[in-house]
Chains A and B, each alone.
Chain A
Amino acid sequence: MREEIITSGRMNDKIDPFLNIWHWEIPLYLFLGGLAAGILFFAAFYSIRGKEKEFPSAIEKAPLIVPALLIIGLISLFLDLNHKLYFWRLYTTIRLESPMSWGAWVLMIITPLSFIWAAIHLKKVYPNFKWPFPWLDIVEEFFIKYKKVLAWSMLVSALILGMYTGILLSAFNARPLWNTSILGPLFLVSGLSTGAATNILFAKTHLEKKTFSTIDLALIGIELFLIVHLFMGLLASTQVQIEAANLFLGGPYTAVFWVLVVLIGMIIPAVIEILELWKFKIPLLIPAIMVLFGGVLLRFIITFAGQTSRWLY
Chain B
Amino acid sequence: MANRRQFLKYSALGIGGMTIGLGACKYIDDFTEIKNNPGALNVNLTRTPTYCEICFWQCAGWVYKTKDGQIWKIVGNDDDQHSNGRFCPRGTGGVGMYNDEDRLKTPLIRTGERGEFKFREASWDEALDLVAENMKKIAAEHGPECIALLTHGSGGKFFGETLKAFGSDNIAAPSYAQCRGPREVAFTNTFGEGVGSPERIDIRDTKCLVLIGSHLGENMHNGQVQEMSAAIDKGASIITVDPRFSVAAGKSKFWLPIKPATDLALLLSWIHVIIYEDWYDKEYVEKYTYGFEFLKEHVKTMTPEWAYGKTTIQPDIIRKTAKEMVNAAPSVIIHPGRHVTWYGDDTQRMRAVAILNAILGSWGRRGGYYNPSKISVPNYPHPEYPTPTKTWRDAFPGKYNLVDETLASGICDATIPSIDRACNFKMWLVNGTNLINTLPDNAKTLRAIENLDFIAVVDTMPMEIVSYADVVLPECTYLERYDTLRVSPHRKPSIALRMPAVEPKYNTKPAWWMAKQLAEKLGIGHYIPYNTIEEMLDWQLKEAGTSLEEMQKVGVKNYERDWDDLFFTENEDVEFFTNTGKIELYSTAFAQEGFDPMPNYTEHPQPPEGFYRLNYGRAPMHTFSRTANNPNLTDLMSENVLWVNPKVASLWGLKEAQPVWLINQDGIVSTFPIKVRVTERIRWDSVYMVHGFGHNQKQLTRAYGKGASDTQLISHVMEDPIMGGTGMRGNFVSFLTEKPEEAVL
Contact = CB atoms under 8 A, between A and B. Distances in A.
Given A3-B680, A79-B28, A300 B637 contact: no
Interface in B27-78: 28-29, 31-32, 34
Contacts of B15: 293
Contacts of B29: 79, 84
Interface in B358-397: none
Contacts of B635: 11
Interface string B1-39: 011001100110111111011111110110110100000
Q: How large is the interface on A (under 10, 10 to 19, 20 to 34, 35 or more residues)?
A: 35 or more
Contacts of B679: 1, 3
Given A8-B637, A75-B28, A293 B680 contact: no
Contact of B17 (A9, A78, A86, A300): A300
A3 B25 CA distance: 47
B28 A78 contact: yes
A29 to B, nearest CB: 10
Contacts of A79: 26, 28-29
Contacts of A35: 21
Given A3-B680, A65-B22, A256-B7, A85 B32 contact: yes
Interface in A250-302: 252-253, 255-256, 259-260, 289, 292-294, 296-297, 299-301
Nearest to A265: B14
A296 B7 contact: no
A255 B20 contact: no
Contacts of A65: 22-23
Contacts of A8: 621, 636-637
B94 interface: no
A24 interface: yes
Please indicate which of the listed interface residues B10, B11, B646 has the most CB atoms of chain A within 10 Å of its own CB.
B10
A27 interface: yes
Q: How large is the interface on B (under 10, 10 to 19, 20 to 34, 35 or more residues)?
A: 20 to 34
A252 B6 contact: yes
A260 B29 CA distance: 31
A69 interface: yes
A252 B10 CA distance: 12
Nearest to A85: B34
B10 A301 contact: yes
A22 to B, nearest CB: 13
A255 B14 contact: no
B10 A256 contact: yes
B5 to A, nearest CB: 11
A32 interface: yes
Nearest to B25: A72
Please indicate which of the listed interface residues A8, A31, A32, A78 has the most CB atoms of chain B within 10 Å of its own CB.
A8
Given A84-B29, A84-B31, A293-B15, A72 B20 contact: yes
A153 to B, nearest CB: 24
Given A11-B635, A86-B34, A28 B7 contact: no
A32 B621 contact: no
Contacts of A76: 26
Contacts of B646: 1
Interface string B652-691: 0000000000000000000000000011100000000000
A196 to B, nearest CB: 15
Contacts of B16: 24
A84 B31 CA distance: 7
Please indicate which of the listed interface residues B2, B13, B621 has the most CB atoms of chain A within 10 Å of its own CB.
B13
A83 interface: yes
A28 B28 contact: no
B636 A31 contact: no
A68 B23 contact: yes
Interface in B608-654: 621, 635-637, 646
B424 to A, nearest CB: 46
Nearest to A82: B32
B32 A1 contact: no
A27 B21 CA distance: 11
A292 B21 contact: yes
Nearest to A296: B17
A7 B637 CA distance: 8
Contacts of B11: 260
Nearest to A198: B22
A8 B637 CA distance: 7
A3 B603 CA distance: 34
Nearest to B10: A256
B17 A28 contact: yes
Contact of A24 (B3, B13, B18): B13
Nearest to A254: B3
Contact of A32 (B2, B21, B34): B21
Contacts of A259: 7
Nearest to A300: B13
A36 B15 CA distance: 18
A107 to B, nearest CB: 16
Contact of A9 (B2, B23, B31, B636): B636
Contacts of B20: 28, 72
19 contacts: A1-B680, A8-B636, A8-B637, A24-B13, A28-B17, A35-B21, A75-B25, A75-B28, A76-B26, A84-B29, A84-B32, A85-B32, A252-B2, A253-B6, A297-B13, A297-B14, A300-B13, A300-B17, A301-B10
- What are the 5 A-B residue pairs with the smallest beta carbon separation, nearest first? A296-B17, A8-B636, A297-B14, A256-B10, A296-B14
Given A75-B28, A85-B31, A253-B6, 16 more contacts: A1-B679, A3-B679, A3-B680, A7-B637, A24-B16, A68-B25, A72-B21, A72-B24, A83-B34, A255-B7, A289-B18, A292-B18, A296-B14, A297-B14, A300-B17, A301-B10
